Structure 1
Amino acid sequence: MSYDTEHVRNAGETPSSITNLPTFTELLDNTDLAALYTSIRRAETTTGPELVETTTVSKKTVYDYLHKLEQAGLISRVGDDAGTAVYAAEEFELTLTVRNTEVSITPELVEIIAHEDEYPVIQRSLNDHGLVTFALAYDLVNAHSEGEVTIRQMAELTGLSTGTTYDLVEAFYSILDLGGDNSVPTTYTPGDFDDEESNPLDELFDE
């Protein structure tokens, strides 16, 4: 299958070398670090003391993470508030090649992973099916919120069970506030579809 979505693409030229790769990739494995970066990004600007008040990790860990994120270029000092550094998050896109498929890691994907402890389906999907499938599911959830793809089609494209797909959609809708207030994923029955329908991924993304 040819992948060409926001976060999953066919691999092209060899990616360029980057620095501080361990911190970037740690965002995919350390939910506390991912959550701290996401908090800074959502706040637009914030300080260490403010983060200490709003996060669940220790004060020492907050400042260790701030140092790590700043060294990696993921946050920057943008001001000073009575002698306290003010931070803002930097946007980024990290492209990894997994089995000849490019996976784009962005702040939006990190925000989902930051909620891994709250939604076991996120952790289960990453552990059982890998980053490519998870990133593809993320892209398709956004397409689903626009009415462009169904849960059944998503399950077929990702290889996830229908139940797991629905749970992922429900989690992503909640985290990303998709579809407005009190919105939930739409369910479908097999009779709603034509078994001979064309590949929806090709129709959506291979234009």
Structure 2
Amino acid sequence: MTPDGRTPSPQGSQSEVADELRQDAGHLKDSLGARAKQEAESRKGQAAQVAGSASSALDTAARDLRDNPEAPEWMASALQQAARRIESLASHVDGRNVDELGDEVAEFARRNPGTFLAASAAAGFAAARVLRAGVDKKRHERSGDQYGSGNGNDLRSAQNWPADENIRPTEAGGYAPAYGGGSTGGDFGGTAR
């Protein structure tokens, strides 16, 4: 019963629940948006620092090349120019907030859709390579492989060699084709089985 003495209708309580859910969803959306912006601002600062470090390293390399009489001048000049452009990009990114950067990216995508798609594909490819390298490194660390340990866990051990490779290690310490029985002539550095 409601405070005024009426019995609530099922439709009334359903609409109240729906309104409450909409409000909760709106609050959640706002909260997640604020958290994402905060995280992006933090990452933006880190990216600007990394870019500044890269610029400094390129500048140092350019100076070292200029000090080396055998190094070509064009290489030092190219490194110096790259250092300046990276520094400019770092200060540009650091001087803008996340919303402004997002607007700039969206505007660039509208003006140059082909370039934007190509850059996005290249960035995706690079990110996939970096992530894959991290996964491979963790897998290697977990397996406890040690190079040349002699305990059967080193990478030349036949039981640890991937079956889909084109070469395989031999017991004599060399390599042989993985797709055939091999022969003494086909072995690289040892006797084939």
What interval of TM-score do these two structures reach, taking the shorter chain for normalisation? under 0.3
Which of 1 and 2 has greater Rg?
Answer: 2
TM-score normalised by L of structure 1: 0.23
Please report the TM-score for the alignment, with normalisation by the length of structure 2: 0.24
Q: Structure 1 or 2: larger strand share?
A: 1
* Greater per-residue helix proportion: 2
